Amino acid sequence: MNRTEKEVEISNLTASLSATTHAFLVDFKGMPVPAVTDLREKVRKSGSSYVVVKNTLARRAVKGTPLEKISKEFVGPTAIAWNAKDPVALAKVLTEAAKTNPHLKFKSAVVDGESIAGTAVAAVADLPSREQLIGKLLFLLQSPMRNLVTVLSAPQRGLVTTLSQIAQKKETPA
C-alpha cells in the first residue's frame, strides 16, 4: 500500500467514524472466514458497519473523533463495528456472534461518546432497544395523567352506577 492509498484510507475511515458515537473494537483472530462473512452480513442488517483496520492507520484516523479515547486498543488483529443510531442493536449482534464463536473477543467500545471496557459490552447488549425505552418512558409520563382522570371521573361513575341500580330496583316488582 503506497502513501496516497494510505491517505485515502485514513480520510475515508475518519469521515465514517467522525459521525458516530457508538463503536466496538473486536479481536477476530482465529475466526474462520465463513464466520467473519456471516458476522459482516448480520452487522450490515442491523444498520451498522464493520471493517477490519490496519492499526497504525486506524490510530491516525480516530484522532479528533470519539474513538480517540480507545486508540490504545488498536493492537493485534482489530475490526471496528459502528453505527450512529442504536448501540444496543449492534451490541446484541456482536454478543450473539461471540457466543457462537469463541474467537471473537471485545477489546473496548465507545457508547454515546463514553469509553467502556470490552467486558461491559454484554451489559449494553442486555439493555432494551431505543424504541422500547421510549415506549416505557411514554407510559410512565402518561400514567399520572391517566390516574388523575380515573380519580376525577370516579364520582360521576359512582353516581351513574347508583342511579342504574335504583332504576333496576324500581323496575323489578316487589
Residues 22 and 86 in one domain: yes
Domain ranges, residue 133: 128-174
Q: What is the pLDDT of residue 174?
A: 60
Residues 117, 136 share a domain: no
Residue 116 and residue 42 share a domain = yes
Distance CA 23, CA 91 (A): 9
Counting Cβ atoms within 10 Å, is residue 40 exposed (0-12), middle (13-18) or buried (19+)?
Answer: middle
Are 162 and 93 contained in the same domain? no
User: In this structure, what CATH number is given to the domain that contains residue 42?
Assistant: 3.30.70.1730
Tell me how many domains the chain contains. Answer: 2
pLDDT digits (tens, 9 = 90+) for 60-71: 888 888 888 888
The answer on 79 and 46 residing in a single domain is: yes
Residue 41: per-residue pLDDT: 93
Q: What is the pLDDT of residues 133-167, one digit of tens each?
A: 888 888 888 888 888 888 888 888 888 888 888 88
Q: Can you list the residues of the chain whose pLDDT is less than 70?
A: 174
The model scores a pTM over 0.85? no
